[in-house]
């Protein structure tokens, strides 16, 4: 059971999803763990890009690290470790490859396809759930932010969308 209160945001475009993520980035501190849920093409990587840019990393091309497990960004306000665990068969693989070390490196971790990581047992993380509704226009997304634990909850304390 989760007793935390979610925040729902509505996005009408790729740019708006990026702006929501960029706004969230302003609230993040060292050690933030952000799990990105959603079907293929819902905008997990777009959201990750918004956080990465929002933290001051200017890399123009940000793609899912599907084959490399993790991409690192080091020149912004906080380092970012962007994971894509789609191809991962077991969490052991993540730690044996060394990529798992980044989870405790004090940066901001963004994880696409995080289910294996959740099964392993993790504490204090912010879940982002992206959904597209077949009955709505193609570019509409519901983006739900759900904290689990005190620091992820705190990161939402001053978050509002649309910005007030
Ligand atoms: N509101 C929206 N938010 C995010 N992406 C959107 C939106 N509307 C359309 N798109 C498109 O959906 C795709 C999302 O791609 P991507 O972020 O790579 O998805 P995922 O990582 O979830 O597989 C992009 O082609 C983007 O242009
Ligand atoms: Mg992706």
The pLDDT of residue 26 is: 97
The pLDDT of residue 3 is: 73
Name the residue with the closest Cα to ligand 1, atom 26. Answer: 14
CATH superfamily of 31-155: P-loop containing nucleotide triphosphate hydrolases (3.40.50.300)
Residue 1 has pLDDT above 60, yes or no: no
Q: Do residues 134 and 106 touch, judged by C-beta distance below 8 A?
A: no
Phi and psi at 102, nearest 5°, equal -65, -20
The pLDDT of residue 2 is: 60
Per-residue pLDDT of 22-78, as tens digits, reads 999 999 999 999 999 999 999 999 999 999 999 999 988 999 998 889 999 999 999
Q: At what angle do helices 44-54 and 14-25 cross, to 10 degrees?
A: 40
Q: Do residues 140 and 132 touch, judged by C-beta distance below 8 A?
A: yes
Q: Which of 9, 19, 43, 82 to mutate to test the pocket of ligand 1 (most atoms within 8 A of CB)?
A: 43
Cα–Cα nearest to 126, from 147, 142, 111: 147
Is the CB of residue 42 below 6 angstroms from any atom belonging to ligand 1? yes
Cα–Cα nearest to 148, from 127, 118, 120: 127
- Distance (Å) from CA 128 to ligand 2 centroid: 13
Atom of ligand 1 nearest to the CA of 12: 1
Q: How far apart are CA 31 and CA 132, in angstroms?
A: 29
Cα–Cα nearest to 144, from 28, 7, 25: 7
- DSSP characters over 47-73: HHHHHHHHTT---S-----TTTSEEEE
pTM: 0.97
Residue ranges of domains in the chain: 31-155
* CA 60 to chain centroid: 18
The pLDDT of residue 65 is: 92
Atom of ligand 1 nearest to the CA of 17: 3
Is the CB of residue 134 below 6 angstroms from any atom belonging to ligand 1? no
Is the CB of residue 17 below 6 angstroms from any atom belonging to ligand 1? yes
């Amino acid at each position: 059971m989760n007793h935390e209160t979610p925040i729902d945001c509505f996005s009408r475009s790729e740019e708006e999803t990026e702006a929501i993520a960029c706004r969230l980035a302003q609230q993040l501190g060292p050690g933030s763990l952000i799990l990105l849920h959603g079907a293929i093409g819902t905008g997990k990587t777009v959201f990750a890009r918004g956080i990465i840019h929002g933290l001051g990393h200017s890399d123009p091309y940000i793609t899912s690290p599907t084959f490399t497990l993790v991409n690192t960004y080091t020149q912004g306000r906080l380092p970012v470790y962007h994971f894509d665990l789609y191809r991962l068969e077991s969490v052991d693989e993540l730690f044996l490859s060394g990529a798992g070390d980044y989870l405790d490196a004090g940066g901001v971790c963004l994880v696409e396809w995080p289910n294996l990581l959740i099964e392993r047992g993790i504490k204090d993380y912010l879940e982002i759930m992206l959904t597209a509704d077949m009955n709505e226009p193609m570019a509409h997304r519901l983006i739900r932010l759900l904290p689990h634990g005190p620091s992820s909850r705190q990161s939402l304390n001053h978050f509002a969308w649309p910005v007030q």
